[in-house]
Amino acid sequence: MTEPESGPATIAVIADEVGVSAATVSKVLNGRADVAARTRARVEESLERHGYRRRNRRLPAVTGHIDLVFHEFDSAWAMEVIQGVEAVTAPARVELVVSQLGGRHRPPPHWADDVLGRSPLGVLLVLCSLTDTQRRQLDRQRIPFVVLDTDSATAASVPTVGSNNFNGGLLATRHLVELGHRRIAVISGPQDVLCSRARVAGYRSALDETGLPADPELVRYGLFTGHTGYQHGLELLDRPDPPTAIFAGSDMQAMGVIRAARKLGLQVPADLSVVGYDNVPMAAWAATALTTVDQHVQTMAGTAARMLLDLAQGAPVPMTRIDLVTELVVRESTAAPRSS
C-alpha cells in the first residue's frame, strides 16, 4: 500500500490505503451489506481518519421525500405526528415514506441499506434512534436525521425535538393533589423509555412537594396502549386500598383505565379521577371528556420536520434540542374524591 496522499481524500485514496478496490469502498459508503465485516471496519476506519464525506449528493433545493420512522405505529398519537409532519412537508412538495420498527427502539442492521437505496432528503425518527454505525452511514451520504420525542438521552450533536415530560407529570399530579386526592397511582410507558421515566419523575416530585409518600405499588409501566391502561387499571382498582386517582402516560392508557373502572362498577370522576397525556382529538369527545396533558404533538412534529428540511438544505439550525411546553387541559374526568 502507498502512503496516504495529502489533501482531500478520494475513494481511490481510501481504496489504495486499505488495499481494496474502489468498488468496495463505494459499497461501504452506500451501506451495502455485501462487504465482509473486517473489511468494512478497515474502510470505515480510513474514512473516519480522512474525515471523508460524500460530496454533492443532491441539489440545494428541497425536492424528494423524507423517511418518517416510528418505533411502533398503533395509536392516535402516531396520526397526530403524521399530520404535524405533513403540514410542513406538503407545502414544500416533499413526500413522506412512513415505516415502523415493530416496537423496537433501534432499526435492524439492514435498515440503513434500505434507506440509502431510497436516497431520502432526511430521516425523522419517532421514539427511536440510530446506532453509531447507522449514524455514520447517513452522515457520509449527507442524509440528516432528527429525533422526535426521543426514547433515551441523546448526544448534544443529535437534533432532537420533544416536550417537557417532567413538567407534564408534575402538572397532572399537582392537579389531582389540589383536588384533594392522596392515593394517586401512575401508569407510564415502557420503563426503558426516557419520556416514561420523566413523567413518573414529575409525578414523584409533585407528591414530594406536598409531603405525600410515593407508594411503589402505585407506580406501573407498560405500553402506551389502551390494553395496558385496562390491565393495570383492573389491578390497581381491585386492591384493598385502591387509588382515588390515576395519572396515565397517554390518552389511550387513560381510556383503558376508564373502561376498567366501569367494569368494576366505578364511576369517573365520582369514584375515580383520571388524567391522560397527549390531548389527542378523541380525548375531548370521549363519553367522559378527558382531563389530559397537552404536549402539542402536531406542533412538536412540525417543528422536527422544519428542522429536518433546514438541515437538508444545508441551513444551520439555531439549537439542536427543543423541548416544547406542556399544558394541563381540565375537562370532566377529574373531581374531588368522595371523602373530601
pLDDT tens digit sequence for 72-86: 887 788 999 999 999
User: Do 170 and 287 sit in the same domain of this protein?
Assistant: yes
Q: How far apart are CA 236 and CA 221, in angstroms?
A: 12
Place of cell 426521543: 150
pLDDT exceeds cutoff 50 at 5: no
Domain of residue 154 covers 64-163+297-323
Task: Give the pLDDT confidence score for residue 132 in this predicted structure.
Answer: 87
Mean pLDDT value of segment 123-143: 90
- Cβ neighbours of residue 108 closer than 8 Å, sequence gap 6 or more: 101
55 has a pLDDT exceeding 60? no
- Confidence category of residue 129, pLDDT binned at 50, 70, 90: confident
Which CATH number do you get for residue 237?
Answer: 3.40.50.2300
What's the pLDDT score for residue 37? 72
- Supply the pLDDT for residue 285: 94
* For residues 35-59, average pLDDT: 71
Coil/strand/helix, residue 311: helix
Q: What pLDDT score was predicted for residue 303?
A: 94
The residues with which 248 forms a beta bridge, in sequence order, are: 187
The answer to whether 234 touches 256, Cβ cutoff 8 Å, is: no
Q: pLDDT tens digit string along 244-282?
A: 999 999 999 999 999 999 999 999 999 999 999 999 999
Residues 186, 270, single domain; the answer is yes
- Are 210 and 277 part of one and the same domain? yes
Least confident of 1-10, 87-96, 115-124, 178-187: 1-10
Inside any domain, residue 124? yes
Q: Which of 50-64, 107-121, 145-159 has the highest mean pLDDT?
A: 107-121
Q: Are residues 261 and 173 in the same domain?
A: yes
Is 59 part of any domain? Answer: no
169 and 289, same domain (yes or no): yes
146 and 187 fall within a common domain: no
pLDDT at res. 120 = 94
Q: Are residues 181 and 273 in the same domain?
A: yes
Specify if 201 maps to a domain: yes
pLDDT tens figures, 145-156: 999 976 556 666
pLDDT over 80 (residue 340) = no
Q: Quick one: 111 and 203 in the same domain?
A: no
Number of domains into which the chain is organized: 3
Task: Say yes or no: 170 and 281 in one domain.
Answer: yes
pLDDT number for residue 1: 43
Distance CA 275, CA 258 (A): 10
Radius of gyration of the chain (CA): 24
56 domain-assigned: no
Q: 129 and 16, same structural domain?
A: no
Per residue in 141-161, is it b (16+ CB within 10 Å) or e — as a string? bbbbbbbbbbbeebeeebbbb
Quote the CA–CA distance of 7 and 52 in Å, as a whole number: 11
**Whole-number pLDDT of residue 83:** 95
Residue keyed to cell 425536492 = 63
The per-residue pLDDT of the chain, averaged, comes to 88
Same domain, 301 and 159: yes
Q: Which residue has the higher pLDDT, 236 or 109?
A: 236
The model's pLDDT over 203-246, given as tens digits with 9 standing for 90+, comes to 999 999 999 999 999 999 999 999 999 999 999 999 999 999 99
Answer whether residue 232 is part of any domain: yes
